[in-house]
Every structure is written in structure tokens, then in C-alpha cells.
Structure 1
Amino acid sequence: MQHTSKNTKWLNRMVLASTFLACIATQASAAVLTSTKPLGFIASAITEGVIPTEVLLPDGASPHDYALRPSDVQRLRSADLVIWIGPDMESFLTKPLNNIDEKKKIALSGLNSVKPLLSKGTDDDHDHEHEHAQDNAHQHADNEEHNHDHGDYDMHIWMSPEIAKQSAIAIHDKLLELMPQNKDKLDANLRKFEQDLEQTKEKIVNIMQPLQGKGYFVFHDAYGYFEKAFGLRQSGHFTVNPEIQPGAQRLHNIRTQLVEHKAECVFAEPQFQPAVINAVAKGTDVRTGILDPLGSNITLGKDSYIQFLTQLSQQFTDCLE
């Protein structure tokens, strides 16, 4: 009898221990998961003090051509909310997200508040495609696929402060549905984000004022929304898809413009610093700078999107001033 009693106690302890571990595991998996880091910046401002925000893509990975691992699929399934741009930018997520409940995901580019704010892709993308075809038929096929993925609109939507604001509102509203008990904190976070964003925009407008009209080339055509918001105008870009090297004709055209002093700066990126940029700028008095479109050195937190915009404005200023 005593032996049976000991067994029962032991079993009860085991049940309690496993329940406790299960609770910990459930808590650990509770998170908002964003496809890329810049979306994580926006989400973090709203989730601060409510639920952790995590990023699916590792640092240095490009949303243009990422291949999901089984562990990534598991993270998508266990997330409380998945935030992505949409199939036109991240086609690799379309299939796995089909199996996720509509209540637990937001495609930002499909929001009714965001659609009217989307810009068309740049006018010379088609010319770039045609010129690239003459250089390399195989790469052209890749580039066509990239443009098909992007659709007609510029999907670098995190570059737009206004789209970031609408995205934050949508994230707030969705989390309010999922966890109404956190209403006060979510409301306060959204208010703070909107106020900080307005103040930061005003500061950047003042910083950018003297740079308006100065010409520059960017490596990857990702900055349209930022440029539009703050009155900058690029002279052109090396490539539409950062995975694909620009063609010889495009490089010749850029080189000609640099020699004719039509630009003051050429920007590379931390993820892509091809020798081609140095080669094109060589022998000219054009400065080279770095723009980081993913904020790779910024840590997720309540102010990270504000830091991202500020850093980008500083990177433009450092080279163009």
C-alpha cells in the first residue's frame, strides 16, 4: 500500500513538472514574428511591454530570394501574429502562410490604408531589363522573375514614414483583437510611436533641405519612398534586384554621368558592396557612401524605427554634404 502511495506521489510530481514545462514552452513561443528586420522595427514600437517581437530572416539575408528552412516554418506556425509585406515582395512566404489563420497574419501591402500610398516602380526598370537581356539571357530570366514578384508597385514600403504609421495602426488593431486585456498599453505605444514619428520627420526634413537637387546613384533601387518623403532625387540606380549585377550598358551610362559631374555621390550597401561601384567611380571626384536599407546594425526595440529613419538620413548627409 505504501509502495502504491509513493508511486502516486511520483506520478503527480511528474504531471506537475511536465505541465510547468509546457507552460514555459508556450510562453516562450508567444511572439509577434515579422518577415524582415525593418518590419520588426515598426512592430516593436507597438509590442513594447506586451509581447516579444522576433524577425524571421537572419541578418544579411535578402527578402528577394530567401529559402525557408523547416525551423522557419515551425516559427511561422507557433507565432501569435505574423507580419509580412505580401506576395509581391516575399513570394517565398505565400505557400506556408496559406496554412495560417487569417486572424494571425497581416500582409501590409494589402491593407486598405496602405494601397493608396503605394508608388509605381521606377520608369527605367523596363529599360534595365532590355539592356540586361543583351548582356546575359540567363540572368535576364532571373530579373524578369524578380520584377514579376514585385508587381507594378515599389514594395520597399518600410521606407515610407506614412506607410509605417498605417502599418503600426494595423498591428495595434490586430493585437487588440488578439489580446484585449492589453488595450491601455497598446494604445499608449501607438500614441508614442505616432508622436515620435512626426517629430522625427520634421527633423529629417530640416536636415535634408540643403541636399535637395544634389545628384547621386544608389546601388539598389530601394529608397523611393524615403526620397519622396524628404525631397531627394536620385540620378539613378545600378540594379533593380541586388542579387543581379548591372549590365555593361548601364555601367557605361552611369560612368558617363559621373565624369560629366551629374552626381556627387555613389552609394553601396552593407549587404552588397560590389567592386563594380568602386570601378565606376574610379578616376572621378565622386564620393562613395553606404546606405543600409535594412538597418542591420540596429537592435529591435520601441525606438528602433525612429533610429532607422535617423540613421538613413545621416548616411545620405554624410556623403552628399
Structure 2
Amino acid sequence: MAVHRRDVSAVAVVLALLWLVAPAIGTTPVDAAGRLRVAASIFPLYDIVRHVAGSAAEVVLVLPPGASPHTFEPTPATVRALAGASVIFVVGHGLDDWAARLARGAGVPDPVRVDRGIRLRRVYAGGGADPHYWLSAPNGKRIATTVAAELERRAPDRGAEIQRALAAYLARLDTADREIRRLLADLPNRRIATVHDAFGYFADAYGLEVAAAFEAFPGREPGPRFVVEFQRKIRASGVGMVFTEPQLSVAALRPIARDLGVTLGVLDPLGGLPGREGYVELLLWDARAVAAAARGVTP
């Protein structure tokens, strides 16, 4: 599945409106308390950054919780929120390029992609990388380490504080990783089916198999041939549930699931919603959902 291109017209309109908000966009990289002002494109990065930064930085989230980076339409308010940020942390690989463009328009320097040290899955047409690499605790640790290095570079006087916060957060991620592995041990069926192919890294990290994905492009209804192949894979896999996402419509999937005799559950790739108000909580929430579905119980 390839991540489809953003509709750049909406971004272009917002950037054209920057002239109207330019006086509000400052250039000072720190606030009155000596904190950096930084931004993150999506909630998982935002939560990682704020835990690693601690009191050394104010962190701005660009994509509102509940919205999808694949379908989000930015507004002038989105740009104003970036005012004065010294850097924006992004996933890259087509998922949040729109956020990087908005940031540049708001005077934020080149974005920092957080995939350093992460082995990317080359699964998309043309050899493109799967951008959902934050969806495993080991990759979360790599992201946190990249963020810490960038924050230290920009605020060397807060280096010791950032390193203490990083160490504490890495320990939390280690604990979460062990709990996820415990939750997903000895499942009767290690196959999952999803509305779109966002959980490959999660599956690879925890010994699962993504047997089928409904949408070839997030937020776009699949064509007839893709639906037929999806149905074939579901029947062959033995899964009893297809996981949707809170950020995407399930209108097209619901009647197909009914015909297949499978139920619809929820896996969340982004979080920031009740029950997964943090990145660690998000990973655990998804693991519990997979475990419950495999065992045929209500999470």
C-alpha cells in the first residue's frame, strides 16, 4: 500500500495566508523561562518529545487528536500554532510532508525526521518506506534518543536535564515492551486484519502477521479487485475481527465485514484520545485490543 499524496492545494492556500499572520510569527527560539519552543507533527511524536524535553521545551502538536495525517486539511490556525518554533519533528516518508511545508512557511527551519537507526519496511509500490515506524516500543526508544540529541544540540545548557528525562522514558518503554510481549504471548491466532496497512512494524516487533488490509490508500475506498482479494485473505486467515481506526471512516468496510461474518474492532495508530492519552498507553491499548480479539474476549 502506498501513502497517497497530500492534496497540496489546501496547503498552498494556507501558506498564501501566511502574509496575514506574519507579524505574529516570532524568531525567538526560547520563551521567557528559557524554554525552547518546538513542534511535532503527530501525537505519538508530540508525546515522546514532551517526555524527553521535560521543562526544557514547550511542545506544540500540529495534527489534532482524532484527525488522520492522510486526510487532514490544515488551516491558518495550524500555522499560527507553529509561531516561534525552532524545529519541527516529523515522521517523513510521505506521511506528514504537509506539516514540514507548513512549518517552513511559518519560518521554522528544516524538519528533523526521527527515523535514525530504524530499519524501515520497504513495502510500498516503487520501494517506498512504510512510515508507521513509531508503532513499536523498540522504535519508540530510537525516536526518543534522536529527539534528545536534537534538543541537546539546541539547548546544551539543559543537556543534563534532557538526559535524565530520556533515561526515565527509555525505562518506561522497556517496561511497556515487556508488558506487550506478555499480553501477546501464546495467542491462538497471531494474524490480524486492518482497515489500512499501518501496523506492520507493530506486527514485526511482536510476532504477529498482518493477513489483510482493506484500503490500499488510507481514506480512499478500495476498488472491486482489491475488495475481492481482501475477502479472500480474510477467509484464508481465520481472523474473526477486522480492526478499524478512529481516524478513518468504516462505512465501506461495514457491509463487507457483515458478509464475511467478522466483527469490527479498533486499533489506534495515533492516540491522544481517551484510554490512550500517551504514547506508552497507546501501544499498550493496541496490544490489549489484539490480545482480546485473538482470544475472543471483550477488552
TM class, shorter-length: 0.7 to 0.9
Question: 2:244 pairs with 255, 268, 272, which one?
Answer: 268
Alpha-carbon offset, residue 57 of structure 1: 1.2
Where in structure 2 are the equivalents of 1:138-177 lying within 5 Å?
Answer: 152-177=128-153
* Structure having the larger proportion of residues in helix: 1
Deviation readout 1:174-216 (Å, 9 max, x if unpaired): 2112222322321111111111111211111121122274333
AA partner of residue 53 (structure 2) = T
Alpha-carbon offset, residue 97 of structure 1: 4.3
- Report if aligned partners of 1:37, 1:57 keep a CA contact under 8 Å in 2: yes
Q: Which runs of 5+ in 1 are unaligned?
A: 1-22, 127-147
Alpha-carbon offset, residue 287 of structure 1: 3.1
AA partner of residue 294 (structure 2) = L
AA partner of residue 121 (structure 1) = V
AA partner of residue 119 (structure 1) = R
Where in structure 2 are the equivalents of 1:249-268 lying within 5 Å?
Answer: 249-259=225-235, 262-268=238-244
Where in structure 2 are the equivalents of 1:1-321 lying within 5 Å?
Answer: 26-27=31-32, 31-86=37-92, 88-98=94-104, 99-102=107-110, 105-109=111-115, 111=116, 113-114=117-118, 117-121=119-123, 152-211=128-187, 213-259=189-235, 262-297=238-273, 304-321=278-295
Alpha-carbon offset, residue 299 of structure 1: 8.7
Normalising by the residue count of structure 2, what TM-score does the alignment of the two structures yield?
0.78
Partner of 1:12: none
Cα distance in 1 between the residues matched to 2:53 and 2:271: 19
Deviation readout 1:9-47 (Å, 9 max, x if unpaired): xxxxxxxxxxxxxx9x94499532101111112112202
Alpha-carbon offset, residue 60 of structure 1: 2.6
Give aligned-pair identity as a percent.
Answer: 23
Cα distance in 1 between the residues matched to 2:31 and 2:168: 30
Kindly report the root-mean-square deviation, in angstroms, between the aligned alpha carbons of the 2 structures: 2.8
Cα distance in 2 between the residues matched to 1:278 and 1:168: 37
Q: 1:107 to 1:260 in 2, by over 3 A?
A: closer
Structure exhibiting the larger radius of gyration computed from Cα positions: 1
Cα distance in 2 between the residues matched to 1:257 and 1:85: 30
Cα distance in 1 between the residues matched to 2:236 and 2:203: 23
Q: How many residues align?
A: 264
Deviation readout 1:195-252 (Å, 9 max, x if unpaired): 1111211111121122274333100110010110000102110013221011222222
Q: 1:298 to 1:31 in 2, by over 3 A?
A: farther
AA partner of residue 85 (structure 1) = V
Higher mean displacement: 241-250 or 217-226? 241-250
Normalising by the residue count of structure 1, what TM-score does the alignment of the two structures yield?
0.73
AA partner of residue 282 (structure 2) = F
